Homo-oligomer: A and B are copies of this chain.
């Protein structure tokens, strides 16, 4: 499902130790993907474990064999969604390209990953909502704030890139915090209105990403560098 687990340096961050039993990991992954779709369609608390099991053509037993509780399942889906984002974005933070170009490439990669993995991204949105609300147990609350930390570190990736670009290109950011929040708000907005077209949505997604990044960069007073889209040949897997 285009969520290839290559050996990047992020594995230990998400605790995805390459387990010896292959089928076990596959089954778990199928549950995560199916659960992500259910959570997207019905929301967390409106989705029952039986719903996920039915979508899997299985029963609760299978899910509870892999996850301790419904909340645990949700957290695992959240982790996987964040992992997708990191794998898409983090490679572009390195290298010695100009800061603005790096920022633009990060943004395009993030935006496209967002549209390609809609289910997981909506779960991420629900995750922050759950955080603003009150979790049940203390352990869950701790795990949740750990997930929020991961998200914050992801947003910090963008914030640093924005500030680096601003410094290098002599842009004045009156409030870097609000600027980066607005920046990501634009990129993330597709979650609320985008739904993929038929056949090959890749061209459409690329065009939308280009529009969004152009808008977001203008907001901080920068122009979209044309080379920002030239790295996109790699994105044909499967």
Asked if A18 lies at the interface with its beta carbon under 8 angstroms from chain B, I say no
B45 & A215 in contact (Cβ 8 Å cutoff): no
Q: Does A181 contact B (CB under 8 A)?
A: yes
Could you tell me if B185 and A189 are in contact, using CB atoms closer than 8 angstroms? yes
Interface presence of A142 (CB below 8 A): no
**B-contacting residues, A158-196, CB 8 Å:** 174-175, 178-179, 181-182, 185-186, 188-189, 192-193
Are A182 and B215 in contact, CB atoms less than 8 angstroms apart? Answer: yes
- Residues of B close to A178: CB separation below 8 A: 208, 211-212, 215
How many subunits of this chain does the assembly comprise?
2
Among listed A26-34, A79-87, A127-135, interface-contacting one = A127-135
In Å, the complex CA distance between A182 and B209 comes to 12
The range of chain A's interface size is 20 to 34
**Residue A221 at the B interface, CB < 8 A?**
yes
Interface flags, A27-65, vs B, CB<8A=1, else 0: 000000000000001111110000000000000000000
Which residues does chain B contribute within 8 Å of A179, judged by CB atoms? Answer: 211, 215
Enumerate A184-238 residues with CB–CB distance to B below 8 Å: 185-186, 188-189, 192-193, 208, 211-212, 214-216, 218-221
Best-surrounded residue of A46, A182, A188, A221 (most CB of chain B within 10 A) = A182
